[in-house]
């Protein structure tokens, strides 16, 4: 093992370990059937993005013969070799699970994929009518002519390749045609069924009736395939005079970038596979024959079919926060106290309400907000537009570089501008990933400011799926810092020194390193010292080395890291005082929380930033101290609960493997605990409201 590999785990292999932990839920027979299918779909979707972003970039480096190794000592080519090996094992596990376990169990439960040999006469009539009356009119075969450019169509959408007998050419006995299925037609064609839900896959129908597209030719073979292209492209911001136009061109360039993966039905002939490999200039090492339906991420809708609720987990619902009154305005409540919310156990509605009230309140003078990923029908964006229409000064920093949400953000930016919002398209060379909204209000005592800080996006839909923290306050210094932050970003200036906030890429990392050093100093003096942190990824080498120094000094370090972790815990004379666990459960763990003992004067902070170079050095992020005692105590308790999980948590070993946390006699599951506790607290709060009878009295 190289010196680098002895200290660090490779980033890409660590991510694949994360996806394996997601896959482990799909592989577990203890899970309800449709929950297993859902997690299987998530692993497939995760892999798509991994190929588009991470593998594409490595392939470009390998093609340029870049030999520079990462901090784990692996060159791009070495990483690609390990990635391909690991993914082939993962795909085998995915499809073995689907073919041998999930599909037969789904069939028994009444959710059935129909093949042509199994279709009833009534079903065949429906399929044939659907093809003749709809599909044949919508779908367009595209010929592949030798020497011509590859036709462009949306990827990674499924396509059907057709091999035809070519009677005109002796030297070329075959000709090839593609039928792209696009993303508008449903993947599952519903069939009449007396029991349950029966469907046929779109590619099966098109393959069956492909001959009708070519009545005078002989179809030799049809197969489904999927191309994935590199999406690791950037805008040259130094020369972009119109940044939005440049972003729109980038989206077009992404459709034409090099192919990083070819997935093809394993039943395809060697002849057809070789032709597609050559056509798309894909390395044979990047061809993945698939033993089952392509794109398992499309199985997600099946996991939510109505009428099959017995095959899913009992739903968890969000509850109103016991800390928030439904009758008093948000401003009245935040004037009196700070509020901490744990989503999705506690509803995201107060955050929407905070901005909604600001939009309609005549005393509100301005709203300033960052937008990174929003929903397609965002009530928050609607409130910002409404506020601007009523004459309020509204500023929105809309990050156009939010990968895979560029189109939505471009559309929102245009709409906001039309309604009079001052829109900033992010910051040159940096992504604005901070989650902050500041509201300025005229009150009898003078101007007062209110601020919301979050660890997750302003997206009410993902707020039901991601576990995040919201901190809402009128703390004078935090609000002053929030205003300074926006003024610096929108005014193109360096921010004035903050009172309490830290921002990346300016001081956030140095503040974390400073806090780690304080714990090291405390330990060296013989005092109690510990660090507890919950983040999504740990990749930054400086942070890792600082944690190694802390371990060597005797600082107890507990890390709860959902995804990538490049630190090796438990290594003698390096990290024996560091423990790393990861929780994969019903909600996607997304909150970033840090707790430093600090000599008994606990320092607790929340952040939008993971501990990765991209977050700490190339993004605008915020680190927010939570000093309000009730909110701080709640965050400390929250972290302690995460480290008690022995049901859904796994522990990272020094070898880079994840093993189940050793269970005590009492199983404890953190997410279930939060759900039950907040449910109970919400019910108790409701019961505490005094119920009284108020009679209607005579007007006289």
Three-class SS state of 128: helix
Cβ-based neighbours of 526, under 8 Å, separated by 6 or more: none
Q: Helices 508-524 and 541-553 sit at what angle, rounded to 10 degrees?
A: 10
Q: How many degrees, rounded to 5, is the angle at CA 664 between CA 659 and CA 669? A: 70
What gap in Å lies between CA 504 and CA 68, rounded to an integer?
Answer: 27
- Give the residue among 469, 672, 470 at the shortest CA–CA distance from 585: 672
- Structure tokens belonging to residue 468: 């995040």
What's phi and psi for 191, nearest 5 deg?
-115, 155
What gap in Å lies between CA 348 and CA 358, rounded to an integer?
Answer: 16
Residue 412 half-sphere exposure toward CB, CA atoms < 13 A: 29
What letter does residue 155 receive in the DSSP assignment? Answer: T
What gap in Å lies between CA 358 and CA 364, rounded to an integer?
Answer: 6
What gap in Å lies between CA 292 and CA 333, rounded to an integer?
Answer: 55
What gap in Å lies between CA 645 and CA 622, rounded to an integer?
Answer: 28
What gap in Å lies between CA 565 and CA 516, rounded to an integer?
Answer: 18
Three-class SS state of 458: coil
What gap in Å lies between CA 226 and CA 294, rounded to an integer?
Answer: 8
Q: Using alpha carbons, list the distances in angstroms from residue 664 to 300, 557, 646.
A: 35, 21, 8
What gap in Å lies between CA 543 and CA 373, rounded to an integer?
Answer: 27
- Give the residue among 470, 552, 550, 493 at the shortest CA–CA distance from 517: 550
Cβ-based neighbours of 493, under 8 Å, separated by 6 or more: 487
What are the CB-based long-range contacts (under 8 Å, 24+) for 512-516?
512/543, 512/546, 512/594, 512/611, 512/623, 513/542, 513/543, 513/546, 515/594, 515/596, 515/598, 515/603, 516/543, 516/546, 516/547, 516/549, 516/550, 516/555, 516/596
Whether the CB-CB separation of 87 and 47 falls below 8 Å is answered with yes
- Give the residue among 668, 612, 658 at the shortest CA–CA distance from 23: 658
Q: Are β-strands 287-290 and 259-265 bridged in parallel, bridged antiparallel, or unpaired? A: parallel
Which is the catalytic residue, given 433, 590, 595, 597? 433
Residue ranges with strand state E in 155-314: 158-165, 174-180, 188-191, 197-201, 219-229, 259-265, 287-290
Query: Which ranges in 299-378 belong to alpha helices (H)?
Result: 330-336, 349-360
What gap in Å lies between CA 384 and CA 215, rounded to an integer?
Answer: 56
What gap in Å lies between CA 256 and CA 250, rounded to an integer?
Answer: 10
Burial class (CB in 10 A: 0-12, 13-18, 19+), 686: exposed
Q: How many degrees, rounded to 5, is the angle at CA 71 between CA 66 and CA 73? A: 65
Known catalytic membership, residue 343: no
In terms of phi and psi (left: phi > 0; alpha: psi -120 to 50; beta: otherwise), the region of 22 is alpha
CA 214, 220, 225, 227 torsion-angle sign: negative
- Give the residue among 103, 106, 93, 107 at the shortest CA–CA distance from 43: 93
Q: Catalytic positions, please? A: 433
């Amino acid at each position: 093992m190289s010196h680098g590999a002895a200290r660090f785990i490779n980033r890409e292999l660590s991510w694949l370990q994360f996806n394996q932990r997601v896959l482990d839920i799909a592989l577990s027979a203890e899970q309800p059937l449709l929950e297993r299918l859902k997690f299987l779909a998530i692993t497939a979707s995760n892999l798509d993005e991994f190929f588009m972003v991470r593998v594409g970039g490595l392939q470009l480096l390998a093609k340029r013969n870049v030999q520079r190794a990462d901090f784990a000592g692996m060159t791009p080519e070495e990483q690609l070799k390990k990635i391909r090996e690991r993914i082939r094992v993962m795909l085998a596990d995915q499809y073995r699970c689907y073919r041998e376990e999930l599909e037969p169990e789904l069939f028994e439960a009444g959710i059935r994929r129909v093949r042509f040999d199994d279709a009833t006469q009534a079903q065949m009539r429906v399929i044939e009518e659907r093809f003749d009356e709809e599909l044949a009119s919508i779908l367009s075969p595209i010929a592949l002519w030798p020497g011509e450019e590859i036709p462009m169509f949306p990827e990674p959408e499924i396509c059907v390749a057709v091999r035809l007998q070519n009677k005109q050419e002796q030297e070329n006995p075959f000709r090839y045609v593609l039928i792209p299925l696009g993303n508008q037609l449903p993947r599952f064609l519903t069939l009449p069924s007396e029991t349950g839900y029966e469907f046929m896959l779109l590619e099966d129908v098109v393959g069956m009736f492909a001959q009708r597209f070519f009545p005078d030719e002989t179809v030799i073979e049809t197969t489904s395939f999927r191309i994935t292209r590199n999406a690791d492209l950037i805008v040259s911001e130094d020369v972009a005079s119109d940044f939005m136009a440049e972003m729109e061109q980038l989206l077009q360039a992404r459709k034409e970038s090099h192919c990083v993966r070819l997935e093809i039905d394993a039943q395809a002939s060697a002849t057809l596979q070789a032709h597609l490999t050559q056509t798309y200039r894909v390395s044979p090492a990047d061809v993945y024959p698939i033993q089952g339906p392509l794109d398992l991420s499309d199985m997600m809708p099946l996991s939510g079919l109505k009428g099959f609720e017995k095959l899913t987990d009992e739903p968890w619902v969000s509850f109103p926060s016991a800390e928030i009154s439904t009758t008093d305005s948000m401003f009245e409540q935040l004037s009196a106290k700070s509020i901490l919310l744990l989503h999705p156990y506690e509803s995201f509605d107060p955050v929407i309400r905070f901005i909604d009230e600001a939009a309609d309140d005549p005393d509100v003078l301005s709203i300033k907000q960052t937008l990174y990923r929003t929903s397609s029908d965002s009530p928050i964006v609607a409130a910002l537009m409404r506020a601007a229409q009523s004459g309020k000064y509204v500023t929105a920093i809309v990050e156009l570089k939010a990968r895979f949400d560029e189109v939505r953000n471009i559309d929102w930016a245009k709409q906001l501008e039309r309604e009079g919002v001052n829109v900033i398209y992010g910051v040159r060379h940096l992504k604005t990933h901070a989650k902050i909204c500041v509201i300025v209000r005229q009150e009898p005592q003078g101007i007062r400011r209110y601020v919301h800080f979050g660890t997750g996006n302003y997206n009410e839909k993902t707020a039901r799926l991601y576990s995040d923290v919201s901190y809402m306050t009128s703390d004078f210094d935090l609000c002053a810092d929030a205003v300074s932050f926006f003024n610096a970003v929108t005014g193109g200036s360096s921010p004035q020194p903050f009172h309490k906030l830290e921002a990346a890429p300016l001081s956030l990392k140095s503040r974390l390193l400073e806090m780690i050093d304080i714990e090291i100093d405390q330990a060296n003096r013989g005092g109690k010292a510990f660090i507890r942190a919950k983040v999504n990824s740990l990749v930054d080498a400086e942070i890792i080395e600082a944690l190694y120094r802390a371990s060597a000094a005797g600082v107890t370090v507990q890390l709860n890291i959902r995804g990538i972790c490049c630190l090796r815990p438990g290594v003698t004379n390096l990290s024996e005082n560091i423990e790393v666990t990861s929780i994969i459960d019903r909600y996607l763990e997304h909150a970033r929380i840090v707790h430093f003992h600090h000599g008994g004067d606990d320092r607790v902070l929340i952040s939008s930033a993971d501990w990765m170079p991209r977050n700490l050095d190339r993004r605008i992020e915020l680190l927010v101290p939570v000093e309000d005692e009730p909110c701080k105590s709640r965050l400390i308790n929250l972290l302690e609960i995460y480290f008690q999980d022995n049901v859904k948590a796994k522990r990272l070993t020094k070898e880079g493997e994840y093993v189940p946390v050793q269970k005590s006699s009492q199983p404890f599951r953190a997410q279930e605990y939060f759900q039950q506790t907040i449910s109970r607290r919400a019910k108790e709060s409701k019961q505490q409201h005094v119920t009284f009878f108020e009679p209607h009295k005579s007007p006289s």
